[in-house]
Amino acid sequence: MPLVVKKDDRRESFDRMKILSGLKKACSKRPVPIETLEAAVDRIERQLEESGEKEIPSTRIGDAVMAALRDIDEVAYVRFASVYRSFRDVNELMAELKSLVEDRGGRR
């Protein structure tokens, strides 16, 4: 597995349990089976391995988690996005919600 490059330029080993923990927190009290979360972590891990890169920015992992959550549970996605993207105000959150609703309308 590639090393993860953190925002402060530290490098650390990839830890699938960190991803699973973040998914569990986002999905807390939501009707999402643990198997769904584990499958999402498996997909993310496989994508990283297949990239062939020696180092992966942590932001790429965060983006992959957000993409997975967007398909798994919209409420969990918004929870994760609110922390990961560090919205500065409610307008940024509302813009994200609007995007989510517009995308959902296109999928139905």
- What is the distance between the alpha carbons of residues 81 and 77, in angstroms, rounded to a whole number? 6
What confidence tens digit (pLDDT) does each residue in 26-79 have?
999 999 999 999 999 999 999 999 998 999 999 999 999 999 998 999 899 888
Residue among 23, 1, 22, 24 nearest 11 (CA): 1
Domain boundaries, the chain: 3-107
At 68, list the tokens.
């997975």
Q: What is the pTM of this model?
A: 0.80
DSSP 8-state code for residue 45: H
Runs of H (alpha helix) within 27-89: 34-51, 58-72, 74-84
> Any residues with CB less than 8 A from the CB of 105 and at least 6 apart, and which?
none
